[in-house]
Chains A and B, each alone.
Chain A
Amino acid sequence: MVKKILIGLVVTALITLVALPLLAQQEEIRVIYDEGQAQATIKSLTFQGTNFIYLKEMVNLFRLDLKWDAITKKVTLTSGPDQVIFFVGSPQIMVNDKIKRLIQPPRFSNGAILLPIEFLSEILDGVLRAKIDWDPKTRILKVNGGRLNIRELRHSSYLDSTRIVIDLLRPLSYRVRKDIPAQITIDIYGGEGNPGQLSLEINDGRVKNIQAFQLPNATQVVVRLIQDLPYKTFILKNPHRIVLDINPPQKRLGYKITTIVIDPGHGGKDPGAIGKGETREKDVVLAIAKELKRLISERLGIRVVLTRTGDYFIPLKERTAIANNEGADLFISIHTNAALGRARGGGFETYFHSLALTENAKAVARFENAVIKLEKGGRGKSMSQAEFILWDMAHNTYLNESSELAILVQEELDKKLRIRNRKVDQASFYVLSGANMPSILTEVAFISNPREESMLRRPDFQKRIAEGLYNAIVLYKRSYEKSMGLAISEQ
């Protein structure tokens, strides 16, 4: 009988011992930032009289970078120059190469890593430029300074403008300065950011790069431009963010087409596509471009600039840079097409630039206020493709003009050529992405198709292509200047 009771007691004791950790009390800790400027609550667990918090929550609280090695149980936390390393189960904590000791080691509970609250008040205090105080009576954690309040830097490059967005964790005041040529400086007062995460190489033809500096009382974001461009800044809410638009869309002033840049594709070390009969794309397109230049300057009296006038190599980025520098009103890139396969394609087609539609881009689009206009129509949580294209069009002022020119080119080539009329299409072309004006890329025939290759070699065929392109430019110029003229006379 006694034996039975004893066994019963032992079993109960064992169960209690095992179950005790599971019965750990769950409570909440209040976090107060910067003398009450912001508040949050985090979960806490009590084991043997010590308060523990979840590593995950702490990482989010301070925006730390977390690395976890499951084999050695090593945790590495980094924030800018500061680094904290510890092993779950060991009370030793390495803080920027100095070893500190905790009374209670970090531990596991139900697969999560828990840290004693003294980890914050003893270890992290002073690191991360933060002052942390823990009051066990009121269960309040006071954090002053140090918390990163600038989360990240994003940018989007459009056909004619660049948008830079600084994501904040809470509202911060800022000032924009323009005291050095080709440079815009944003001072974010009280900003705490990770300069490494807030620096970007952009090189999109307008913005060179962005570099951030952490000052004692502000974060300085320096935007370096290729040249001085108009800009505007504004602040958006939910989430808080500072937006800087470089060269924001505005109605064009000139309503006459005075300069056209023609870009014969490839050249020099880059022969372009090569036909079975050894015809090289770079030679054919140069001949067509020269003929087109002759037609335009003789008949329209408009200035025409070729991106290359001979057989030499020009990087893609430089081609639109030439057009931008010349203040061109149109950019026309001439190519011959190619494909693998038995027939190796056939026909002519014309493209205009568009960004590849990514889920990510859609999400970003939804984020920005430009889209709120679209969303005001109601319901739409996620944007449809059509809505995104609308948004894309609103941002790329020249998308309409470019597509109009592409359609005209396709129609006029169709009248001149007896090969297949493929289509007008859009895709993300490297050569068109930096153009500050309506721009198209036309593939006048398939050099990989032996029949079309032999046509492309003939000067009369090249001439017909140039005439088709010329006619399209004339029609475009007429309709463009008419619509702009109307717009001006209405004002």
Chain B
Amino acid sequence: MKRKKIFIILGVLILLIIIILIFQRERVFYRIPFLAPEENVKLVRLYFASPDADYLKVEARRILREEGITDEAKVLVEELINGPRGNLDPTIPPETQLRELYIVPEEKCAYLDFNKAFRANHPGGSAGELLTIYSLVNTLIDNLEGIERVQILVEGKIIETLAGHIDTTKPFPRNSAIVEY
């Protein structure tokens, strides 16, 4: 009898843990800032699309602080690819992979090199392209010291456009007109 009770209690406990794990999986399985000491955590501003694809809006997120600016930039891009957690919309096709990221301090420029999926799975459209480009550009420029421009590359090469609209042959400066606060 007593033993049964213990089993029931244990079962309930295990269930509870599973439930907690399911609902808190974001915190448990992703980087776990709430376990990390405060000085290792950085609050960043990520730009995602507004639900009507009109503007970019900010989603604040805590990420683990990285050693160098290049690693920090990589984490920011990965977070953008992972997509929003709140009620904003993604700006980058989820199949996208960041192949490489270089920062050239003298140019104050970050070079982002994506795989083919970035282009192949892009929805197209002027609005879609602008949201993709400036979510990357504004996020990197806002969160990293000394970065003023962002150049997008695919498979290591400069491309004319993502899907036939916006000129991507040159680095982009920040764009505040596309942001709604």
Closest A residue by C-beta to B161: A430
Q: Tell me, in angstroms, the Cα distance from A443 to B161 when the chains sit together.
A: 17
Assess whether B130 is in contact with A358, with CB atoms less than 8 Å apart.
no
Assess whether A441 is in contact with B165, with CB atoms less than 8 Å apart.
yes
Q: Tell me, in angstroms, the Cα distance from A405 to B74 when the chains sit together.
A: 42
Residue B127, interface by CB 8 Å: yes
| Residue tally, chain A, CB below 8 Å to B | 42
Assess whether B164 is in contact with A448, with CB atoms less than 8 Å apart.
no
Assess whether B130 is in contact with A427, with CB atoms less than 8 Å apart.
yes
Q: Does more than half of chain A's interface fall in helix, strand or loop, or is it mixed?
A: loop
List chain B residues, Cβ under 8 A from A335: 125-126, 165
Residue B91, interface by CB 8 Å: yes
**Listed stretches A170-178, A186-194, A338-346; interface member:** A338-346
Q: Tell me, in angstroms, the Cα distance from A265 to B125 when the chains sit together.
A: 10
Give residues of chain B (104-140) contacting chain A, Cβ–Cβ below 8 Å: 123-128, 130-132
Give residues of chain B (134-181) contacting chain A, Cβ–Cβ below 8 Å: 148-149, 160-161, 163-173, 175, 177
Assess whether B89 is in contact with A430, with CB atoms less than 8 Å apart.
no
Assess whether A266 is in contact with B164, with CB atoms less than 8 Å apart.
yes
Distance (whole angstroms) from the CB of A74 to the closest CB of chain B: 21
List chain A residues, Cβ under 8 A from B130: 427
Q: Tell me, in angstroms, the Cα distance from A337 to B124 when the chains sit together.
A: 7
List chain A residues, Cβ under 8 A from B128: 273, 337-340, 345, 448
Assess whether B165 is in contact with A273, with CB atoms less than 8 Å apart.
no
Q: Tell me, in angstroms, the Cα distance from A102 to B167 when the chains sit together.
A: 53
Residue B73, interface by CB 8 Å: no
Closest A residue by C-beta to B162: A430
Give residues of chain A (339-356) contacting chain B, Cβ–Cβ below 8 Å: 339-347, 349, 351, 356
Task: Flag A47-58 by CB within 8 Å of B: 1 or 0 each.
Answer: 000000000000
Assess whether A356 is in contact with B89, with CB atoms less than 8 Å apart.
no
Q: Tell me, in angstroms, the Cα distance from A427 to B170 when the chains sit together.
A: 13
List chain A residues, Cβ under 8 A from B26: none
Q: Tell me, in angstroms, the Cα distance from A422 to B161 when the chains sit together.
A: 23
List chain A residues, Cβ under 8 A from B93: 340
Residue B54, interface by CB 8 Å: yes
Assess whether B172 is in contact with A356, with CB atoms less than 8 Å apart.
yes
Assess whether B167 is in contact with A429, with CB atoms less than 8 Å apart.
yes
Give residues of chain A (76-103) contacting chain B, Cβ–Cβ below 8 Å: none
Assess whether B161 is in contact with A316, with CB atoms less than 8 Å apart.
yes
Distance (whole angstroms) from the CB of A436 to the closest CB of chain B: 17
Residue A201, interface by CB 8 Å: no
Closest A residue by C-beta to B168: A430
Residue A320, interface by CB 8 Å: no
A340-B123 CB under 8 A given contacts A359-B148, A433-B167: yes
Distance (whole angstroms) from the CB of A435 to the closest CB of chain B: 13
Q: Tell me, in angstroms, the Cα distance from A443 to B175 when the chains sit together.
A: 21
List chain B residues, Cβ under 8 A from A343: 51-53, 89
Residue A297, interface by CB 8 Å: no
Q: Tell me, in angstroms, the Cα distance from A433 to B90 when the chains sit together.
A: 29
List chain B residues, Cβ under 8 A from A118: none
Q: Tell me, in angstroms, the Cα distance from A360 to B173 when the chains sit together.
A: 9
List chain B residues, Cβ under 8 A from A274: 124
Task: Flag B47-74 by CB within 8 Å of A: 1 or 0 each.
Answer: 0010111100000000000000000000
Q: Tell me, in angstroms, the Cα distance from A346 to B91 when the chains sit together.
A: 16
Q: Tell me, in angstroms, the Cα distance from A357 to B163 when the chains sit together.
A: 22
Assess whether A448 is in contact with B125, with CB atoms less than 8 Å apart.
yes
Assess whether A338 is in contact with B173, with CB atoms less than 8 Å apart.
no
List chain A residues, Cβ under 8 A from B90: 340-341
Distance (whole angstroms) from the CB of B27 to the closest CB of chain A: 24
List chain A residues, Cβ under 8 A from B89: 339-343
A443-B126 CB under 8 A given contacts A341-B49, A430-B161: yes
Assess whether B53 is in contact with A427, with CB atoms less than 8 Å apart.
no
List chain B residues, Cβ under 8 A from A272: 124, 163-164
Assess whether A270 is in contact with B125, with CB atoms less than 8 Å apart.
no
Q: Tell me, in angstroms, the Cα distance from A345 to B125 when the chains sit together.
A: 10
Assess whether B49 is in contact with A340, with CB atoms less than 8 Å apart.
yes
Closest B residue by C-beta to A362: B173
Assess whether A427 is in contact with B166, with CB atoms less than 8 Å apart.
yes
Q: Tell me, in angstroms, the Cα distance from A316 to B166 when the chains sit together.
A: 11
List chain B residues, Cβ under 8 A from A441: 126, 165
Assess whether B164 is in contact with A265, with CB atoms less than 8 Å apart.
yes
Assess whether B126 is in contact with A422, with CB atoms less than 8 Å apart.
no
Q: Tell me, in angstroms, the Cα distance from A351 to B175 when the chains sit together.
A: 16
A342-B164 CB under 8 A given contacts A336-B125, A359-B148, A443-B125: no
Q: Tell me, in angstroms, the Cα distance from A75 to B175 when the chains sit together.
A: 41
Assess whether A443 is in contact with B127, with CB atoms less than 8 Å apart.
yes
Distance (whole angstroms) from the CB of B72 to the closest CB of chain A: 22
Residue A446, interface by CB 8 Å: yes
List chain A residues, Cβ under 8 A from B124: 272-274, 281, 338
Q: List 24 A-B contacts (CB under 8 A).
A: A270-B164, A272-B124, A273-B163, A316-B160, A337-B126, A338-B123, A340-B49, A340-B92, A340-B93, A340-B128, A343-B51, A344-B53, A345-B52, A346-B52, A349-B127, A357-B173, A358-B149, A420-B52, A422-B54, A427-B126, A430-B160, A430-B169, A441-B165, A448-B123
Kindly list the 3 A-B residue pairs having the minimum CB-CB distance in the complex, ordered from nearest: A341-B89, A338-B125, A273-B124
Interface residue ranges, B against A (CB under 8 Å): 49, 51-54, 89-93, 123-128, 130-132, 148-149, 160-161, 163-173, 175, 177
List 18 additional A-B contacts (Cβ < 8 Å) besides A270-B164, A337-B126, A422-B127.
A265-B164, A273-B128, A338-B128, A339-B125, A341-B49, A343-B52, A344-B123, A345-B53, A346-B52, A356-B172, A356-B175, A357-B173, A358-B149, A358-B173, A428-B167, A429-B166, A429-B167, A430-B168
Interface residue ranges, A against B (CB under 8 Å): 265-266, 270, 272-274, 281, 316, 335-347, 349, 351, 356-360, 420, 422, 425, 427-431, 433, 441, 443, 446-448
